[in-house]
Structure 1
Amino acid sequence: MPTLVILMILAGAAFGFWSAGRAAAERAEVVGRNACEAAGVQWLDQTVHVTAIRLCRGGDGWLGWERTFRFDYSRDGEDRHVGRLVLRGDRLVNFIGPVSRLETPPPT
């Protein structure tokens, strides 16, 4: 009987970890898509890929997961660039990716 209880606890923890990972991936997709749209670039592959996960302490002092995601984008449809974003829970803490192009002033 105790073995069944332990298995149920482990299964519940695994499901919770998987569910939180899916929620973070969906949040990362929204952030990546919106950043590409704002910068006027093409978001490639329509997906993000988790590249790292680590345990970290949040601003409230509780332990949580920090997930790093990677996505690809293109400026002209022929090139390919890599963007990265880091989520701590569902909060964006770091972003490297497309920025909107600023027009350069004419030479003087």
Structure 2
Amino acid sequence: MKTMTTDELINLLDANEDLNIIDVREDHEVENGMIPGAVHIPLGSIPEEAPNLDKSKEYILVCKGGVRSANAAEYLEAQGFEVVNLEGGMMSYDGELEFK
């Protein structure tokens, strides 16, 4: 499984790269802010939402500390998706936040 540091992600965001970020945290966690442009799909909903994702795109997965997103990444990778796990998750991320 590929991984990415939060610094690498922030650099991509600053460069206005077209990113596909999935936040797998629970509803009460995302209320504290999400990475701009991220889509919220709680970990438990990943299997039912996977058919709605595009296998031609790479997805960056994020959670609070990196463990749940690694689980989601393993699942999606097994389904044929290109995925990257954000190391350290939101606990390591110190970039801009978006509130939904």
TM-score normalized with structure 1 length: 0.22
- Pick the structure with more strand per residue: 1
When Rg is computed on C-alpha atoms for both structures, the one with the higher figure is 1
Which of the pair has the greater relative contact order for Cα pairs under 8 Å at 6+ separation?
Answer: 2
